[in-house]
Structure 1
Amino acid sequence: MAYKVLVVDDSSFFRRRVTDIINSDENLTVIDVAVNGIEAVEKAKSLKPDVITMDIEMPLLNGIEAVKQIMANSPIPILMFSSLTHQGAKATLDALDAGALDFLPKKFNEIANANSDAGSILRSRVLEIARKRLSARRVGTRPLTRTPLTKPSTTSASNSAGNTLVKRPVANIRPSGKSYKLLAIGTSTGGPVALQKILTQLPQNFPLPIIMVQHMPAAFTKAFAMRLDSLCKISVREAENGDVLKPGVAYLAPGGTQMLIEGKENHAKLKVVVDDTDRIAFKPSVDVSFGSAAKVFSGSVLGIILTGMGSDGREGSRMLKAKGATIWAQDEESCVVYGMPQAVAKAGISTADLPLLEFPNAILKEIQYG
């Protein structure tokens, strides 16, 4: 049976094109449309779609407020459409904070072009978050709810295939005793919220520099870094070419670039280069940044792969592990999309697969903080 989709947008052209694109996949069907946030809230409650695509700027009730009301009354996976502006980036991050799962840039020209990749990307994103909701239903949990950071407990749960998984609490993960010089994190779909949950729990005097690669457009990364910096005790900034890595500072790779590490491990610098080639699909790429970290820091890296679609990060993590580094992955149940973490787990690269909320304590324990 096809997943049911509600399309919300005040533009009749965009509603029609999005509907046509989604309906071209036999696994998806648009059951209705809404022209403003009030209609979206009402139809989400009455129609109970599997996924909602949501515009941000709409009359009567904007997309952010609509997301808040839907998540409070009838939680449903929501994919936001956002303009590629600084203001659009801030609004999209607000929507993700409110409970939306993912976002796509709102590019009218690409949506209008039948031969554009935008259509396949839209369909794949809708399918991925629809399947996330189905997995949550199978294990008897409510998706998309905000869970406060709590002490880990020893529990067992079922994965999306119904198999029993034994969870290891952080208390049972023994620190390796290794000495670290860098924390490296790679993520994509669901990453903004995941990164926020981890970084806000790190202390101001965190002893390592942090590099972060989040698949995100160039217009978004600066706004995202500024938001994290305002919320975290550590310093967070969008990386710039020539930045010297400093403890307690997190560097976010700018969208549309590749972020590499150069120099010696005791005086490492970032090289940020614009990438306008088709050679590497992701800009920024986790593989590129992790691979450069392996060359400079060798095994003194704690690498983490969080929620995301695809397999970016697998080869970079493989290079790090070959040098003796430690690689962790986010577990399936807490991921928005279990793609990137699954890739490193299935390849036997990760040594621990952790629920999202257990990462902060696990990181501090592994690096022997305090």
Structure 2
Amino acid sequence: MEKEFYVVGIGSSAGGLKALKEFFRRLPTTIPAAFIVITHLNRDRHSILNDILAAQTAIPVARVDEDVQILPGNIYVLTENTSLTIRNGWLKVAPRDQKILNSSVDIFFSSLADEFKARAIGIILSGGGNDGLEGALHLAESGGKVMVQNLLTAEVTGMPESIIDHDHPSDILNPTKLAEKLIELCKENTARQST
């Protein structure tokens, strides 16, 4: 029987690239979790975030251009002009809506909460606005964990600050410490399953 693993959604916008690099540099390649990176992208500019992250970690990184099954030990990256949801353990790609304000993090986090419940973790890094707040509240209500970058290390504080002000995140840490906390959670999860 396949072990149950954490599925980690990471939302960021302005200033988030530095935080993402720091976070993924700290993770071991054997970590038993799957990561889905949701960033605010220009609709018509090809994103190379997958290449940037691949230079920071030996964990496989893939652009999600088509529906794909979520497997532990992988990083999946949102592509331009799309949104991602989860259904039956698969990442589902859809065209991004026409709204001016980007709500891709909320859309994904809400889906993550419904699908994975207590095995869902949402992390909000640097970014402007409050995308992610609605999804984070849904994650917490569904038994998942919400973690945020602390405001002292975030280049742009809107997204993490909105979570801190309206939710009760389990951890408020710098990106390296967020990664270390996640490693600890994964070790605890593995130990539970082996007893």
| 1:273 equivalenced with 2:94 (yes/no) | yes
State the shift of 1:236 in Å: 0.9
Give the aligned partner of residue 122 of structure 2. Answer: 303
For residues 294-336 of structure 1, the C-alpha deviation after alignment (integer angstroms, 9 at most, x for no partner) is: 1111121121111110000000011111011111111110000
Assess, with a 3 A threshold, how the Cα gap between structure 1 residues 261 and 274 changes in structure 2: closer, same or farther: same
Which residue in 2 is equivalent to 1:115? none
Give identity over the alignment, percent: 27
Instruction: Report SS of the residue matched to 2:136.
Output: helix
Q: Which residue of 1 aligns with 2:17?
A: 192
| SS at structure 2 position matched to 1:240 | coil
SS at match of 1:299: helix
Partner of 1:214: 39
What's the secondary structure of 2:123's corresponding residue? Answer: strand
Distance 2:65 2:110 in 1: 19
Cα deviation per residue 1:247-280 (whole Å; 9 max; x = unaligned)? 11111111211111111xxxx11111112422x6
Q: 1:359 aligns with which of 163, 178, 185?
A: 178
Distance in 2 of aligned mates of 1:274 and 1:252: 15
Provide the C-alpha distance between the structure 2 equivalents of 1:315 and 1:365, rounded to a whole number of angstroms: 26
Maintained 8 Å contact 1:180/1:301: no
Letter of the 1:250 counterpart = I
Does the Cα contact within 8 Å between 2:10 and 2:37 map onto a contact in 1?
Answer: yes
- Does the 8 A contact of 1:294 with 1:320 survive in 2? yes
Shift of 1:239: 1.1
Check if 1:227 corresponds to 2:47. Answer: no
2:135 to 316, 321, 342: 316
Give the superposition deviation at 1:181: 2.4
Counterpart of 1:282 in structure 2 is: 102
| C-alpha distance in 2 between matches for 1:364 and 1:352 | 13
Q: Compared with structure 1, are the counterparts of its residues 310 and 319 closer, same or farther at alpha carbon in structure 2 (3 Å cutoff)?
A: same
Partner SS, residue 298 of structure 1? helix
How many positions carry a matched residue from both structures? 185
Partner of 1:259: 84
Once residues 5 and 120 of structure 2 are traced to their aligned partners in structure 1, the CA distance between those partners, rounded to angstroms, is 6
Q: Do the aligned residues in 2 keep the contact of 1:317 with 1:349 (CA within 8 Å)? A: no
Q: Would the alpha carbon gap of residues 276 and 366 (structure 1) be closer, same or farther in structure 2, given more than 3 Å must change?
A: closer
Runs of 4+ in structure 1 over 6 Å off:
none
Q: Is the 8 A contact 2:136 2:167 kept in 1?
A: no
Q: How high is the TM-score relative to the length of structure 2?
A: 0.88
Q: Aligned equivalents of 2:10 and 2:96: distance in 1?
A: 20
Q: Is the 8 A contact 2:83 2:95 kept in 1?
A: yes
Measured on the aligned residues, the alpha-carbon RMSD in Å equals 1.8
CA offsets 1:75-105 (integer angstroms, 9 cap, x no match): xxxxxxxxxxxxxxxxxxxxxxxxxxxxxxx
Q: Distance in 2 between matches of 1:260 and 1:292?
A: 5
Distance 2:148 2:52 in 1: 24
Please, which runs of 5 or more residues in structure 1 have no aligned partner?
A: 1-178
Contact residue 24 and residue 57 of structure 2 kept, 8 A? yes
Q: State the Cα distance separating 1:240 from its structure 2 match.
A: 2.5
* Paired residue secondary structure (2:162): helix
The one of the two structures with greater contact order (alpha-carbon pairs below 8 A, sep at least 6) is 2
SS of 1:367's equivalent in the other structure is helix
TM-score (norm 1): 0.48
